[in-house]
């Protein structure tokens, strides 16, 4: 496996301009997510630099821009709040340890080549938890949007505190937040390539706060103590290591989904194909290093990636350039960030939350499929009020059960039994003649298509019919695959028939199905000369062996 990503120097102009534009887009978002998470703006900035740099160096998508994202920030906020509440002295270090665990988990998934399975989940589940995360991000920013500190206790605490927040609203800060949202919503899309709306909103909001409300007490970021980041020693307590590992797995899994979905968007724009396993390794290295130096976790960011590609980037050099430019901007403009109002950053984060919501599917889900709509809304509510991993687990389970039930109902129609020449099975003239000569003493059971466990009930229903015939012919010619449950159901049919002293014949199935039956010992129950290569051969022998 090639260690470094696709870094070339044959498109330097496009990659440098793409990296520069992506860096400009990243700066306000990194500050907003750093403040929103509770880890501070510097954590957002270092997350943007470190995750972006190492994911670009070691990832598997040429033009992917990685940085702190809304979904990752929401989970990190919950982790940070929980750990600081239970361990005030070491909670912050423990939260960054969770980021390291998430990175190691992502690296492990990539090395085990499990990348292709990460996004193999129903769209209704993906839509539900992404929309839920968007709602959480919006709700958690309502307090700073109104000029107050976010209540401890997450979404529920914020909802209960809304009347009090409204009573104590600070109009000046809310005006600044509203100004931010107006700019973000109304700036023409054609301006975005050379004037990113988040940066424009950040600059205009900050200048407005200084010019018009300079004498008003407005909550601001304050000066960021920048310098080389200090190393964070992994910290945990024996009592909490299990929950920290689980949090790391949740964070890592979300990062994998976020990154690979964005990589798919990049593929559609560049007509290239990303390497999912390598991308997970790159994301994992980025998050591991970010956690080691006190940065927020990150993943592939859709906005940064699209801007990067539209600005002319074609290789991973753009991601490296973006990280280096952002680092220079951070050190050079550290004093300028001190005056940024928190309400402006809250407005930027709220807009990100609105963008995360899957409006397209939310509006149409009930028209397409009520089951998908219920799953989507259920996962959304569980994500908001319970837990992300619980929401995804329950959503995937229910969606799979529904899918299996639907497939089983369809496949059950492919289990057919006849004893005469009706049209349920396509028989040749010779086969019809042989069945007619057998005087309804041969029961033909025909199965077709891949057989999953839900079909076993349909097979079991045929047991009672066996008693009325001398011979049973199982035609599995058109069964390319069968799972263990179906194999056991067929074995039970054979055992039941043999127990009733019936002759059993088998038309040889496909290679996979044959091996499955062979491993179960089915061919020890019936004579090998009763296993035929074609249905006509099996019918001929079954007719010849009849005692009529």
Question: What pLDDT does residue 393 have?
Answer: 87
Relative orientation angle of helices 41-58 and 276-292, to the nearest 10 degrees: 140
Q: What is the pLDDT of residue 424?
A: 63
Q: What is the per-residue burial (b if ≥16 Cβ within 10 Å, else e) of 442-467?
A: bbbbbbbbbbbbbbbebbeebeeebe
Cβ 346 vs Cβ 177: under 8 Å = yes
Phi, psi of 150 (to 5 degrees): -70, 130
Question: What residues does 154 pair with on adjacent strands?
Answer: none
What is the predicted pLDDT for the residue at 263?
92
pLDDT of residue 361: 85
Residue 436 has pLDDT above 70, yes or no: yes
Q: pLDDT (tens digit, 9 = 90+) per residue, 240-255?
A: 899 999 999 999 999 9
Residue 309 banded pLDDT, cuts 50, 70, 90: very high
The 10s digit of each residue's pLDDT in 128-153 is 988 999 999 999 999 999 999 888 77
Tell me whether residue 479 is exposed, middle or buried, using C-beta atoms within 10 angstroms of its C-beta: 0 to 12, 13 to 18, 19 or more: buried
Sign of the Cα pseudo-torsion (157, 163, 168, 171, in order): positive
Angle between helices 197-211 and 171-186 (to 10 degrees): 150
CB 251 within 8 A of CB 28: no
Query: What is the average pLDDT score of the chain?
Result: 88
Rounded-to-integer distance, Cα 409 and Cα 412, Å: 5
What is the Cα–Cα distance from 224 to 35, expressed in whole angstroms?
A: 12
Tell me the DSSP string of 254-317. HHHHHHHHHHHHHHHHHT----HHHHHHHHHHHHHHHHHTTPPP-EE-HHHHHHHHHTT--STH
What residues does each domain of the chain span? 12-358, 413-544
Average confidence (pLDDT) over 84-112: 94
Task: Tell me the longest C-alpha to C-alpha distance in the chain.
Answer: 108
pLDDT value at 280 more than 80: yes
Instruction: Tell me how crowded residue 360 is: count the other CB atoms within 10 A of its CB.
Output: 9
Q: How far apart are CA 433 and CA 448, in angstroms?
A: 23
Q: Would you call 3 exposed, middle or buried from its count of C-beta atoms within 10 A (0-12, 13-18, 19+)?
A: exposed
* Cα radius of gyration rounded to whole Å, the chain: 31
pLDDT of the residue at 193: 64
pLDDT for 527:
83
pTM of the model: 0.81
Confidence of residue 389 (pLDDT cuts 50, 70, 90): confident
Region 469-497: mean pLDDT is 87
Q: How far is 235 from 28, CA to CA, in rounded Å?
A: 30
Share of the chain above pLDDT 70, in %: 97
Average of per-residue pLDDT across 384-412: 84
The dihedral built from the CA positions of residue 152, 154, 155 and 156, taken in this order, carries a sign that is negative
Model confidence band, residue 45 (pLDDT cutoffs 50, 70, 90): very high
SS (H, E, C) 104-156: HHHHHHHHCCCHHHHCCCCHHHHHHHHHHHHHHHHHHCHHHHCCCCCCCCHHH
Task: Please report the pLDDT score of residue 240 as a whole number.
Answer: 87
Output the DSSP codes for 31-61: HHHHHHHTS-HHHHHHHHHHHHHHHHHH-S-
**Among the ranges given (46-55, 82-91, 483-492, 507-516), the one the predictor scored with the smallest mean pLDDT:** 507-516
Distance CA(352)–CA(357), nearest Å, equals 9
The residue-averaged pLDDT of 167-171 equals 93
Residue ranges with strand state E in 419-521 = 442-448, 471-478, 503-507
pLDDT band at 370 (very low <50, low <70, confident <90, very high): confident
**Residue 355's closest CA among 143, 71, 156?**
71
- pLDDT of the residue at 49: 95
Q: What is the pLDDT of residue 414?
A: 67
Residue pLDDT, tens place only, 490-538: 888 889 999 899 899 988 877 877 888 888 888 888 888 888 888 888 9
* Residues 327 and 286: beta-carbon distance below 8 Å: no
Q: What kind of fold does domain 413-544 have according to CATH?
A: Transcription Regulator spoIIAA (3.30.750)
Give mean pLDDT, residues 221-246: 84
**Would you state the pLDDT for residue 548?**
58
């Amino acid at each position: 496996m090639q260690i470094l990503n696709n870094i070339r120097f044959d498109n330097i102009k496009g990659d440098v301009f793409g990296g520069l534009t992506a860096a400009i887009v990243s700066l306000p978002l990194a500050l907003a997510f750093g403040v929103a998470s509770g880890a501070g703006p510097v954590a957002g900035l270092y997350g943007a630099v470190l995750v972006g740099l190492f994911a670009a160096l070691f990832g598997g998508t040429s033009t992917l821009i990685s940085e702190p994202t809304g979904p990752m920030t929401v989970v990190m906020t919950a982790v940070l709040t929980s750990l600081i509440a239970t361990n005030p002295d070491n909670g912050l270090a423990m939260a960054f340890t969770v980021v390291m665990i998430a990175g190691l988990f992502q690296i492990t998934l990539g090395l085990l080549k499990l990348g292709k399975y990460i996004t193999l989940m129903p769209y209704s589940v993906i839509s539900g938890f992404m929309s839920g995360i968007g709602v959480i991000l919006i709700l958690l920013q309502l307090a700073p949007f109104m000029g107050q500190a976010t209540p401890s206790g997450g979404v529920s605490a914020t909802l209960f505190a809304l009347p009090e927040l409204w009573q104590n609203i600070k109009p000046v800060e809310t005006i600044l937040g509203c100004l931010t949202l107006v700019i973000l919503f109304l700036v023409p899309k054609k301006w975005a390539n050379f004037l990113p709306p988040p940066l424009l909103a950040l600059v205009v909001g900050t200048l407005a706060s200084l010019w018009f409300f300079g004498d008003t007490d407005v909550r601001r970021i304050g000066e960021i103590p920048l310098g080389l980041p200090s190393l964070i020693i992994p910290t945990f307590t024996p009592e909490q290591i299990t929950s920290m590992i689980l949090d790391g797995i949740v964070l890592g899994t979300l990062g994998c989904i976020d990154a690979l979905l964005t990589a798919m968007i990049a593929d559609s724009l560049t007509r290239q194909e990303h390497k999912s396993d390598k991308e997970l390794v790159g994301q994992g290295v980025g998050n591991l290093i970010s956690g080691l130096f006190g940065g927020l976790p990150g993943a592939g960011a859709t906005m940064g990636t699209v801007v990067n590609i539209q600005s002319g980037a074609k290789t991973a050099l753009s991601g490296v350039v973006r990280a280096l430019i952002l680092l220079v901007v951070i050190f050079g403009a550290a004093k300028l960030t001190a005056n940024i109002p928190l309400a402006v950053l809250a407005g930027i984060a709220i807009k990100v939350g609105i963008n995360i919501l899957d409006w397209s599917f939310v509006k149409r889900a009930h028209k397409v499929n009520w089951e998908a709509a219920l799953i989507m809304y259920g996962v959304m509510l569980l994500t908001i009020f319970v837990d992300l991993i619980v929401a995804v687990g329950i959503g995937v389970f229910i969606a799979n059960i529904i899918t299996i039930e639907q497939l089983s109902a369809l496949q059950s129609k492919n289990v057919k039994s006849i004893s005469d020449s009706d049209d349920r099975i396509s028989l040749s003239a010779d086969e019809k003649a042989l069945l007619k000569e057998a005087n309804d003493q041969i029961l033909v059971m025909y199965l077709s298509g891949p057989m999953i466990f839900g079909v076993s009930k349909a097979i079991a229903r045929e047991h009672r019919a066996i008693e009325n015939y001398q011979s049973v012919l199982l035609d599995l010619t058109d069964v390319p695959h069968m799972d263990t449950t179906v194999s056991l159901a067929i074995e039970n049919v054979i055992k039941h028939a043999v127990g009733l002293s019936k002759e059993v014949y088998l038309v040889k199935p496909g290679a996979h199905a044959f091996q499955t039956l062979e491993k179960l010992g089915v061919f020890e129950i019936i004579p090998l000369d009763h296993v035929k290569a074609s249905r006509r051969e099996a019918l001929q022998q079954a007719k010849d062996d009849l005692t009529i």
